[in-house]
């Protein structure tokens, strides 16, 4: 019996290894195609069989991007950085108010925040657009910063972490004469570093890739972000495949680098979102 069990086991292991390698191939291949096409001359892009390493490597596709994409890249970087910082501010202060301050209506407001996590942006975009336009913010970066400033998920995430810090710490600080602001900045924030890292990474990834809000709020060429600039390729009549892949390649590099160096925070963020289930 043991020998047949062993046989079945090694067959299972072999099948599992094959399946995993195949899956990894299916996931990596499209990204390889993107990266290698970015360095190919037009005539080589549709060669069959497709070459992974370009026969005549070229930077021509990247130089075709030079007129507009440096600005798009800068806009994306600037906006993402500002929104990440503003979100961190609103999420940590909100989380502190929900976890360590006592006030009437606190639990009700928190429940409303949590419910709003489920609401798709497209369900409220029409009235939100009208509000933004009436504030005179249409076609400005401020529209994206202000509509992006509030994060129900981030507030929830950090509040859950603050709850794990014993109230006795806060009380001890109060007895020592510390005010709420110094408790928040000197005690809570330093303790919350890991969850703050998770929040920063999540919100960076979201706004760096965000396409919908810029599509709605930005029309001026000079204000466009990277995803919006890339989308122009998809709707032009002639398809510039090379430059298109070069732009895509550039756009995924920052997030790839962050992912590879801080994978554990991504995984923790996903897991933390599941805990409440």
CB 208 within 8 A of CB 254: yes
> Which of 3, 108, 118, 166 lies at the binding interface for other proteins (CB under 8 A)?
118
Contact in structure between 78 and 207 (CB atoms under 8 Å): no
Which CB, 11 or 119, lies closer to other proteins?
Answer: 119
| 58 binding other proteins? (CB under 8 A) | no
The reply on whether position 136 binds other proteins by CB under 8 A is no
- 129 belongs to the binding site for other proteins (CB under 8 A): yes
String of contacts with other proteins for each residue 166-185, x by CB under 8 A: -x---x--x-----xx--x-
One residue of 62, 138, 169, 233 binding other proteins per CB under 8 A: 233
69 binds other proteins (CB under 8 A): no
Candidate list 14, 85, 163, 271; residue touching other proteins; CB under 8 A: 271
- At its nearest, how many Å lie between other proteins and the CB of residue 144? 11
Q: Does 34 bind other proteins (CB under 8 A)?
A: yes
**Which tokens go with 143?**
């529209």
Of the candidate residues 96, 153, 207, 265, the single one contacting other proteins (CB under 8 A): 96
Query: Between residues 127 and 177, which has the closer beta carbon with respect to other proteins?
Result: 127
What's the DSSP call for residue 133? H
Q: How far is the CB of 209 from other proteins (least distance, A)?
A: 4
- Which of 56, 123, 163, 172: binder of other proteins (CB under 8 A)? 123
* For other proteins, the closer CB: 103 or 238: 103
What is the rounded CA–CA span in Å between residue 238 and residue 54? 23
Stretch of 57-65, 77-85, 189-197, 234-242 contacting other proteins, by CB under 8 A = 234-242
Q: Which is nearer to other proteins, 78 or 167 (CB)?
A: 167
Two tokens, residue 44: 């080589």
**Rounded least distance, CB 124 to other proteins, Å:** 4
Residue whose entry in the numeric block shows the structure tokens 């409303």: 112
**Nearest alpha carbon to residue 150 among 96, 203, 209, 108:** 203
Stretch that binds other proteins, among 45-53, 56-64, 65-73, 190-198 (CB under 8 A): 45-53
The answer to the question of residue 31 lying near other proteins (CB under 8 A) is yes
Smallest separation (angstroms) from other proteins to the CB of 111: 12
The answer to whether residues 88 and 199 touch, using CB atoms and an 8 Å cutoff, is yes
By CB under 8 A, the count of residues binding other proteins is 100
Using CB under 8 A as the binding rule, whether residue 126 contacts other proteins is answered as yes
């Amino acid at each position: 019996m043991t020998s047949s069990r062993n046989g079945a086991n090694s067959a299972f292991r072999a099948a599992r290894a094959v399946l995993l390698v195949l899956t990894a191939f299916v996931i990596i291949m499209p990204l390889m195609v993107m990266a290698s096409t970015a360095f190919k001359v037009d005539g080589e892009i549709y060669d069959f069989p497709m070459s992974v390493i370009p026969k005549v490597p070229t930077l021509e596709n990247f130089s075709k991007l030079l007129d507009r994409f440096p600005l798009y890249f800068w806009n994306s970087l600037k906006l993402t950085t500002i929104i990440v910082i503003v979100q961190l501010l609103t999420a940590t202060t909100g989380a502190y108010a929900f976890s360590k301050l006592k006030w009437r209506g606190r639990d009700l407001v928190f429940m409303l925040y949590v419910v709003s996590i489920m609401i798709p942006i497209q369900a409220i975009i029409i009235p939100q657009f009208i509000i933004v336009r009436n504030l005179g913010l249409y076609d400005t970066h401020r529209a994206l910063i202000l509509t992006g400033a509030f994060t129900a998920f981030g507030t929830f995430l950090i509040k859950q972490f603050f709850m794990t810090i014993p109230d006795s710490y806060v009380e001890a600080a109060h007895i020592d004469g510390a005010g709420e602001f110094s408790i928040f900045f000197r005690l809570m924030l330093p303790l919350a570093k890991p969850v703050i890292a998770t929040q920063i990474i999540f919100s960076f990834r979201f706004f760096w890739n965000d396409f919908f809000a810029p599509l709605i709020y930005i029309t001026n060429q000079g204000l466009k972000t990277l995803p919006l600039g890339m989308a122009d390729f998809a709707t032009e009549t002639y398809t510039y495949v090379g430059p298109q892949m070069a732009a895509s390649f550039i756009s995924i590099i920052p997030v790839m680098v962050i992912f590879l160096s801080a994978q554990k925070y991504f995984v923790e963020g996903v897991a933390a979102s599941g805990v409440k289930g």
